[in-house]
Structure 1
Amino acid sequence: MSPSIVETFTLPSSAGILADFLLHQDVQAHFVGGVIRDSLLKIETDDIDVAVEGNALIIGKAAASNLKGTYIELDRDRGICRVVVAGEKGFQADFVSANEGIKADLARRDFTINSMAMDIESVRTYEGKVSFTISNLIDPLNGRSD
């Protein structure tokens, strides 16, 4: 019997930094949208979207403080903020509150190709590479087929 091949996709190293931070918070969080799309298409990105089931503004402020970044409140009413980390390996992360759950958040996105998510607990780091397996993809609107 031959071993099964597991399809994996690489995320930017900044996703690993964010995952490490988020795993130490008391919040359910997912990478969503473009970072997942770009990983599937093998496109490099430094723009990461994070949906949190909780107060994204509080998590964003904590992330900015912890990662020595700049916090920018984008929409207080909808719970959307941005954290910009400068430097050679800098990145930008947008945080959004997804208090109705991840599937409801994905259903509100602009295109189905942006309606995919990955629970941060499914992200793996090995030999400096940050990745996820396709079996852990959350894709209720079949965005991968786009």
Structure 2
Amino acid sequence: MFILIVLFNKGSPISLKESYCGPCLKNWICFRNNCYQFSNESKNWYQSQDSCMLQNSSLLKICNRVEQVYIRFLQIKSYHWMGLVQIPTNGSWQWEDGSILLPDQLTMFEMQNGTCAVYGSSFKGYTENRLTPNTYICMQRNL
């Protein structure tokens, strides 16, 4: 929690240079045991997933409250693909790793007839068509 206090006291979003740490590649943001890369290019969900996989990572998964607060702190202004897809048989949401979306991880809003999700801000996910171009967030867990 000390890291968050220091970052909040800076009063402005962190830069990639200030947040670099050992286990992450250059131009990735490090927080706890995770590395994050915020893409500036727009791709559909499949292309975004492929881009992350080529970098030995996956699309964003929000696992706990601390990660939620950190991602929120980054002041995301646009929609970014994350690794969350809707299961057609029952309508529930599942992360790329097969785990089910828990109620305290993210609040989902249905915006259009989509089966994937983009991260908006403030712990909110929005449904989106998989073929719609969006920027994306790659995440690599360093356990």
Normalized per residue, which structure has more strand? 1
TM-score (norm 1): 0.30
Normalized per residue, which structure has more helix? 1
